[in-house]
Amino acid sequence: MDYLLILVSTALVNNIVLVKFLGLCPLMGVSSSVSSAWGMSLATTFVLTLSALLSWLIEHLLLQPLDIEFLRILSFILIIAAVVQFTEVMVRKASPMLHKALGIYLPLITTNCAVLGVALLNINENHNLPESLMFGLGSALGFVIVMVMFAGLRERLALANVPALFTGTPISLITAGLLSLIFMGFSGMI
Amino acid sequence: MLIATLVLTLLGLTLGGLLGLAARFFAVEEASPIVKEIEGMLPGSQCGQCGFPGCSPAAEAMANGSAEVTCCPPGGRALAENLAKLLDIDLSTLGETAEPQTAVINEDLCTGCTRCYKACPTDAIVGASKQIHVVYADACTGCNQCVDACPEDCISLISEPVTLTRWHWTKPEAA
């Protein structure tokens, strides 16, 4: 039950993108079509969950016993970069088209602050291993929901008659703001 | 201090090793050998006159049949015929190839700004700063890049003049 609660609360109530405002770069960058948004968010899901798990292990098996917690950010970034590189190799093998569509955004998952944010929040909130796994998975799920929803909205926006002043990024930002307001409505639910 | 350095080094080495293994294990086979071979035959000046962003996408398109072998103007007839032989295409179905063209510099207008020879992908333009440049026709592939680079508009592309060795009977009109 506890784990389910963590999953729902991170996916919806404390959504990593629209409530904590982490990982906005892919939200704006890769959301112009639903299919690339799916690819990007699934790749990020993989990286987020795996790096949440690995960073917990590094923290509790390496950094804390050796009393070198000050290396936390550095070693987490190292882990994340390695996981991203691994994901890129996998995606290139599994689907070259997706690899071409994601382009520069795939290596940019490394600098997606949501990934590092989740790893650090896990440590701050003293989660144990399954909890931090759930936290990572929940955040990733929230990321997928928001990315796909936003990409769908933007695909419709592309056909809509938007005033010239607002075309392109401005209308996307306004949409993202409204979407964020909606997600704020979940606060207090848990 | 020592422990921190050691731990980070070890962490980096382990992750690097794992990634190296993964790269070998999940290696992607490079483009098919025929694409490589076609790309080797193309001029390689990435001029984009075929409508593809460069020679390697064009080679890929030729290999899978979505582009004509005659689509490369710098390569001209000779390249088209070689490619047709390689890809087993009947020479008589090739159709017209664009005449190979070379750039010429109008010496009256050239100011010796050196911009064209910086733009030239095949090093076919000789000259120096404040000296009139000249196109070395044998090396020129007619890729058009110097024409865009010239601020004086003094470069033009011309077909090679007809000489005794190049002259041939005009083809009969198609009915």
Does B4 contact A at CB distance below 8 Å? yes
Residues B148 and B126 occupy one common structural domain? yes
CATH number at residue B109: 3.30.70.20
Nearest to B28 among A68, A82, A93 (CB): A93
Tell me whether residue B169 is in a domain.
no
Tell me whether residue B165 is in a domain.
no
Considering only CB atoms, which chain A residues are within 8 Å of B8?
71, 74-75, 78
Taking the C-alpha atoms of residue B151 and residue B81, their distance in angstroms, rounded to an integer, is: 36
Tell me whether residue B107 is in a domain.
yes
Closest-CA distance, B21 to chain A, in angstroms, reads 10
On whether ipTM exceeds 0.85, the answer is: no
Residues B110 and B85 occupy one common structural domain? no
Average pLDDT, chain A: 87
Tell me whether residue B134 is in a domain.
yes
Name the phi and psi angles at A179, rounded to 5: -60, -40
Does B167 contact A at CB distance below 8 Å? no
pLDDT at A109 (0 to 100): 84
Q: What is the pLDDT of residues A63-122, one digit of tens each?
A: 888 888 888 999 999 999 998 988 888 888 887 777 776 766 778 788 888 899 999 999
Q: Which residues, other chains included, contact A181 with Cβ-Cβ below 8 Å and sequence gap of 6+?
A: none
Residues B53 and B79 occupy one common structural domain? yes
Nearest to A66 among B7, B12, B16 (CB): B7
Nearest to B12 among A58, A78, A86 (CB): A78
Nearest to B15 among A78, A90, A93 (CB): A78
Tell me whether residue B51 is in a domain.
yes
pLDDT at A181 (0 to 100): 92
Tell me whether residue B119 is in a domain.
yes
Q: What is the pLDDT of residues A119-137, one digit of tens each?
A: 999 999 888 899 999 999 9
pLDDT surpassing 80 at residue A4:
yes
The total number of structural domains that make up chain A: 1
The total number of structural domains that make up chain B: 2
pLDDT at A138 (0 to 100): 92
Three-state DSSP state, B21? helix
Considering only CB atoms, which chain A residues are within 8 Å of B3?
66, 68
Residues B81 and B131 occupy one common structural domain? no
Nearest CA in chain B to A92: B28
Tell me whether residue A18 is in a domain.
no
Q: Which of A140, A120, A128, A116 is CA-nearest to residue A16?
A: A140
pTM of the model: 0.60
B161: left (phi over 0), alpha (psi -120 to 50) or beta: beta
- Measured at the CA of A134, the angle between CA A133 and CA A136, to 5 degrees, comes to 65
pLDDT at A104 (0 to 100): 67
User: CB of B98 within 8 A of CB of B51?
Assistant: no
Nearest CA in chain A to B12: A78
Q: Which of B29, B51, B122, B91 is CA-nearest to residue B62?
A: B51
Closest-CA distance, B74 to chain A, in angstroms, reads 29
Work out whether the CA dihedral A72, B14, A45, A84 comes out positive or negative: positive
Q: Which domain holds residue A76?
A: 32-156
Tell me whether residue B16 is in a domain.
no
pLDDT at A178 (0 to 100): 93
Q: What is the pLDDT of residues B73-89, one digit of tens each?
A: 777 777 888 888 888 88
- Measured at the CA of A79, the angle between CA B10 and CA A83, to 5 degrees, comes to 120
Tell me whether residue A15 is in a domain.
no
- Region A161-188 average pLDDT: 89
pLDDT surpassing 90 at residue A151:
yes
- Burial label for B136, CB within 10 Å (0-12, 13-18, 19+), is middle
Which residues in chain B land under pLDDT 50?
none
Q: Which domain holds residue B114?
A: 101-159
Nearest to B22 among A66, A71, A89 (CB): A89
Q: Does A71 contact B22 at a Cβ distance shorter than 8 Å?
A: no
Tell me whether residue B22 is in a domain.
no
- Measured at the CA of A75, the angle between CA A74 and CA A76, to 5 degrees, comes to 95
CATH number at residue B67: 1.10.15.40
pLDDT at B16 (0 to 100): 92
Q: Does A96 contact B28 at a Cβ distance shorter than 8 Å?
A: yes
Considering only CB atoms, which chain A residues are within 8 Å of B7?
62-63, 66, 68, 71, 75
B137, HSE (Cβ side, Cα atoms, 13 Å): 11
Residues B153 and B111 occupy one common structural domain? yes
Tell me whether residue A109 is in a domain.
yes
